[in-house]
């Protein structure tokens, strides 16, 4: 197997690891806020998030804002309206 040498300007690409080469958290002008009391843990936000920055926690799904680019797809896809996009 050949050695994997390619690197992005920000961090090395590691086979088998997520491609988190660009920290896109600084791109956003709005952020998602999850109302944990409404979340049914269906996982649709996690499924649709283009940066895979939504994670399951004990009572609900929540967003790691460091990798969230503020696109709002999670809020659009949430079937119970548990995610609100809030201006920064
Ligand atoms: S706003 Fe976009 S990038 Fe941020 S958590 Fe929602 S779907 Fe993911
Ligand atoms: S889509 Fe909405 S209800 Fe489903 S896990 Fe995400 S926040 Fe919870």
DSSP string over 49-79: -TT--EEE-SSSEEE-GGG-----HHHHH-T
> Cα–Cα distance between 32 and 26 in angstroms, integer?
14
pLDDT-derived band at 19, boundaries 50, 70, 90: low
> Cα–Cα distance between 75 and 58 in angstroms, integer?
20
Tell me if 46 CB under 6 Å of ligand 1: no
Q: Whose CA is nearest to atom 3 of ligand 1?
A: 68
> Tens digit of pLDDT for each residue in 38-66?
999 999 999 999 988 999 999 999 999 98
Percentage above 70 pLDDT, the chain: 75
Q: Which residue has the tokens 């040498």?
A: 5
Percentage above 90 pLDDT, the chain: 64
Specify whether the CB–CB gap between 40 and 50 falls below 8 A.
Answer: no
- Give the sign of the dihedral formed by CA 57, CA 61, CA 65, CA 66: positive
pLDDT score at 35: 98
Average pLDDT, the chain: 84
Tell me if 82 CB under 6 Å of ligand 2: yes
Whole-prediction pTM? 0.80
Tell me if 57 CB under 6 Å of ligand 2: no
Tell me if 75 CB under 6 Å of ligand 2: no
pLDDT score at 77: 98
Domains (range + CATH), the chain: 24-87 (3.30.70.20)
């Amino acid at each position: 197997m050949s050695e994997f040498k390619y690197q992005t300007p920000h961090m090395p690409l590691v086979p088998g690891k997520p491609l988190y080469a660009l920290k896109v958290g600084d791109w956003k002008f709005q952020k998602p806020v999850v109302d944990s009391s409404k979340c049914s843990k269906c996982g649709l936000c996690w499924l649709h998030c283009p940066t895979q920055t939504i994670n399951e926690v004990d009572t609900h799904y929540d967003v790691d804002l460091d990798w969230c680019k503020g696109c709002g797809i999670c809020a659009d896809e949430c079937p119970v309206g548990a995610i609100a996009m809030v201006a920064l």
